[in-house]
Amino acid sequence: MITKAKIKAIIACVPEKYQKKLLPFFGFSFGNVILDLLSVAYLLPFLMLALDSHSRFENRYLQFLVQKEHLIYSILLLIVFFIAKNTLSILFINYQNRLIFAVSSEISKKYTHSFIHNNYLFYQNQDKGDIIKNTIEVPNNFANNVLLSLNTILCESIIIMVISGIGLLLFPKITLIAIVLFLLAFAIIYTFRKVKNVRKSLSSDYRNNVNYLLDLINGFFEIKSASKEEAFLDKFNSSNRKLNKTHAFLTTLKNSNSKYLEIIIILIISFLVFYLVNYSAENSKNVLLISFMASVFFKLIPSLNKLIVAGSSLKSYDYTIESILKNTSIEKETVQSETRIGFENELRIENVSFSYTEENKLIDNVSLKIAKGNIIGISGRSGTGKTTLLHIILKLINPKSGKIVLDGTEITPLNKNAFLSLIGYVTQEPYIFNGSILENIAIGQTEAEIDFDRINALTVAIGFEEVLQNFPDGLHSLTGNSGQKLSGGQKQKLAIIRALYNDPQILILDEATNQLDEENEIKILNYIKGVSQKEKLTVLLVSHDKKVLTYCDTIHQFQKEILHEV
C-alpha cells in the first residue's frame, strides 16, 4: 500500500526544522491509538456485567472490578481513566494540528522565498496559476491529506496487526478464515470498481482554474469593453465545474470506502457469530471471544476504515509530493547583504551579449560608460531590447557574456544587494502595492522611521500634492488592488516619488513619464535634471520621445542588437 521510498519522499517534503518533530508526532499518535485500545479493554468488564450480571472472570482484578460492593470505586476509576485519556487526546490533537499547519505554512514560506529570490527569467517562465497553486493548494493538501494520511496509515496498520496477531494467537483458525475472507472480499470489490483517472488532473485543473480567474480579474476592462463577459465566464465556469467534479468524485471515493468496508465486515461478523453459536464450547473461551469481537467492533473496524480513507487520500494528493520536491530543488542565488559598495566615478556596461532564445540574438557585445551625474538616454524601435538591457544592469537577468562594473568593481551576486540599494527604478507600468499611498512610498518602514519632510518635498516637486487633494485621508489613503484608485499618470508620479524617496545615486526610468500630460512631464524632468546637476544623480532614461531625450547628456540608440551613440 505504501512503499519505503514513498515514506522517504514524504519525510523529505517536510521542512528540515519540522522533520525532528515527526517522531514525537507519530509517537503521540500511536500512544493515542493505544489509549483508545486500552479504553475498549477497560470497558469490557462493565460491558460483560451489563450483559450478564453473573459473569465471572478468572482474572482477580476483573472480578474485583465487577463486584457490586466495589462498583462505585470501579466507576470512579473508569471516569478518571476516561477523563485522563481524553485530556491527553485533546493535547495530542492540538499538537498534531499545530504541527500540520506549521508544516503547511513553512512549505509556502520556503516556496515564496525561493520564488522572490530568484531572477527575472525564472519569474517570467513561471505560470501564475502554478505560483498560486504551489503557495496555497499544494502545501495545504500535502499537510492535511498526505502527511496526516501517512500518520494514520502507520498507526492504524500497527493496531490492525496487533489485533490480528492477538486473534491469531487466541483463535488461529477463525482469525485466519476472517483475514482470508476480508482480503478476498476487498480484492473483489476493488477489482470491479472502476476508478477514473481523475487524480492526475487535479493539479492541472487547479492551475487552469486560477489562471482563468486571474484573466477575469486582470482583464476586467478589456473583457467589459469588448463585451466578452460570457466568453470569459464560460471558460472559467467550465474549468471550475471540472475542478469541483474532480473534488466531488474524490470525496465520494473516500466516503464510499466505509460502505464497502461495512459490507465486508458484516460478512465476517456473521461468520464469527455463526461459529460462536455453533462450535464454541467453554464459557471462558466465549468470554474471550466476545471480548475479542468487541475490540474488533470498537477498534478494528474504525481502524480499517481510517486506513482505507487515508490510503485513498494519499493517492489523490500524491502529486503534492512531486511538486514540493521539485520546488525545493530550485536553485537560489547567493546574495550577500552586508557588502558595501560606493559610487564615485563611473558605471560601465562591458561587452554585454544576451538572447532569450538560441536562434535570435537580442543584444550583441554592448558596451556603455556612464559617468556619475550624467543623464544617459536610450532609444530604439519597439522590441529592440532596451528594457532587457535595463534588466541586465539591474541584475534581474544574467547576460550570456559581459559584465556590469561600478567604479572598477564587477557586480556579482555577492555585492548585488549593495549595488541595488544605490538604484531607484521606475518601470513602464509601475506596480502599486495593495495598501496606502504612504506604504507605497516608504516600503517596509514604520511610521516612526518615515521621513515625512522628504515625502512632502517630493510630492510638491513631482506635482503629487494635487493628487493628494482628491483623497480625504491624504498619504494614508488606500490605493486599492494594483492602485486601481489612481490614474495611469498618477501611478507614474507615485512610482517616481517611491524611486526618489530612498535617495538613489542612479535613477533608471523606463518610459516612466509616458502617461503624463506635457506640463507634468516637463515639471518632473526639470526636477530630475536639477537633482542630477546639484547632487550628481546619474540617470538612465529609456524613451521614444525626442522631447524627453533632450534632457540627456548623451543618447544611445539600439539598432540591430547594437547600441550606437547618436
Ligand X SMILES: Nc1ncnc2c1ncn2[C@@H]1O[C@H](COP(=O)(O)OP(=O)(O)OP(=O)(O)O)[C@@H](O)[C@H]1O
* Burial (0-12, 13-18, 19+ Cβ within 10 Å), 541: buried
Which element (helix H / strand E) includes 423?
strand 423-426
Looking at the DSSP bridge assignments, the partners of residue 508 are 425, 540
7's grid cell: 515514506
Angle, alpha carbons 411-119-110 (nearest 5°): 120
Instruction: Name which of 199 and 386 has its Cβ closer to ligand X.
Output: 386
Q: What is the CA radius of gyration of the chain?
A: 35
Cα–Cα distance, 462 to 310 (Å, whole number):
61
Q: How many residues bind ligand X (CB under 6 A)?
A: 11
Q: Out of 151, 388, 459, 538, name the contact with ligand X by CB under 6 A.
A: 388
Work out the end-to-end distance of the chain between its first and last CA atoms, rounded to an integer number of angstroms: 71
Listed residue (133, 132, 147) closest to 101, CA to CA:
147
Q: Which stretch binds ligand X (CB under 6 A): 313-321, 367-375, 382-390, 438-446?
A: 382-390
Q: Does 124 bind ligand X (CB under 6 A)?
A: yes
Cα–Cα distance, 391 to 143 (Å, whole number):
38
Count of other CB atoms within 10 angstroms of residue 274: 10
Q: Out of 342, 383, 480, 488, name the contact with ligand X by CB under 6 A.
A: 383
Instruction: Name which of 383 and 488 has its Cβ closer to ligand X.
Output: 383
Listed residue (388, 531, 548, 552) closest to 457, CA to CA:
531
Instruction: Name which of 299 and 391 has its Cβ closer to ligand X.
Output: 391
* Residue 400: CB minimum distance to ligand X, A: 14
Supply the DSSP symbol for 431. P
Listed residue (491, 531, 530) closest to 511, CA to CA:
491
Q: Does 144 bind ligand X (CB under 6 A)?
A: no
Cα atoms in the Cβ-side hemisphere of radius 13 Å centred on 354: 25
Q: Out of 384, 479, 513, 538, name the contact with ligand X by CB under 6 A.
A: 384
| Stretch 511-540 residues interacting with ligand X (CB under 6 A) | none
Instruction: Name which of 319 and 558 has its Cβ closer to ligand X.
Output: 558
Instruction: Name which of 285 and 544 has its Cβ closer to ligand X.
Output: 544
Listed residue (479, 407, 387, 408) closest to 441, CA to CA:
479
Instruction: Name which of 359 and 519 has its Cβ closer to ligand X.
Output: 359
* Residue 565: CB minimum distance to ligand X, A: 17
Q: Out of 89, 387, 417, 514, name the contact with ligand X by CB under 6 A.
A: 387
Q: Does 127 bind ligand X (CB under 6 A)?
A: no
* Residue 329: CB minimum distance to ligand X, A: 22
SS3 536: coil
Cα–Cα distance, 471 to 455 (Å, whole number):
16
Q: Which stretch binds ligand X (CB under 6 A): 53-61, 197-205, 383-391, 404-412?
A: 383-391
* Residue 425: CB minimum distance to ligand X, A: 14
Listed residue (370, 386, 460) closest to 423, CA to CA:
370
Sign of CA dihedral 15, 21, 23, 27: negative
Q: Which stretch binds ligand X (CB under 6 A): 11-19, 213-221, 386-394, 546-554?
A: 386-394
Q: Does 543 bind ligand X (CB under 6 A)?
A: no
Q: Which stretch binds ligand X (CB under 6 A): 227-235, 379-387, 437-445, 490-498?
A: 379-387
* Residue 380: CB minimum distance to ligand X, A: 6
Q: Out of 385, 424, 463, 483, name the contact with ligand X by CB under 6 A.
A: 385
* Residue 251: CB minimum distance to ligand X, A: 40
The contact pattern for ligand X, residues 189-228, with x = CB under 6 A and - = no contact, is ----------------------------------------
Using N-to-C axis directions, what is the helix angle for 283-295 and 22-51, rounded to 10°? 140
Q: Which stretch binds ligand X (CB under 6 A): 48-56, 183-191, 240-248, 377-385?
A: 377-385
Looking at the DSSP bridge assignments, the partners of residue 347 are 370, 406
| Stretch 471-490 residues interacting with ligand X (CB under 6 A) | none
565's grid cell: 551613440
Instruction: Name which of 306 and 386 has its Cβ closer to ligand X.
Output: 386
Q: Residue written as cell 480513507?
A: 309
Instruction: Name which of 384 and 538 has its Cβ closer to ligand X.
Output: 384
Instruction: Name which of 385 and 483 has its Cβ closer to ligand X.
Output: 385
Cα–Cα distance, 399 to 402 (Å, whole number):
6
SS3 558: strand
Listed residue (320, 316, 339) closest to 328, CA to CA:
320
* Residue 522: CB minimum distance to ligand X, A: 22
Instruction: Name which of 89 and 387 has its Cβ closer to ligand X.
Output: 387
Q: Which stretch binds ligand X (CB under 6 A): 130-138, 210-218, 378-386, 407-415?
A: 378-386
Amino acid code (one letter) for 438: L
Instruction: Name which of 163 and 390 has its Cβ closer to ligand X.
Output: 390
* Residue 395: CB minimum distance to ligand X, A: 16
Q: Does 382 bind ligand X (CB under 6 A)?
A: yes
| Stretch 344-373 residues interacting with ligand X (CB under 6 A) | 356, 362
User: Cβ distance 508 to 394 under 8 Å?
Assistant: yes
Which element (helix H / strand E) includes 534?
helix 518-535
Q: How far is CA 231 from CA 209, 227, 245, 350, in A?
A: 15, 9, 21, 50
185's grid cell: 472480499
Q: Which stretch binds ligand X (CB under 6 A): 23-31, 152-160, 385-393, 455-463?
A: 385-393
Give 549's contacts (C-beta < 8 A, 6+ positions apart). 377, 379, 541, 543, 555
Interacting residue ranges for ligand X, rule: CB under 6 A = 124, 356, 362, 380, 382-388
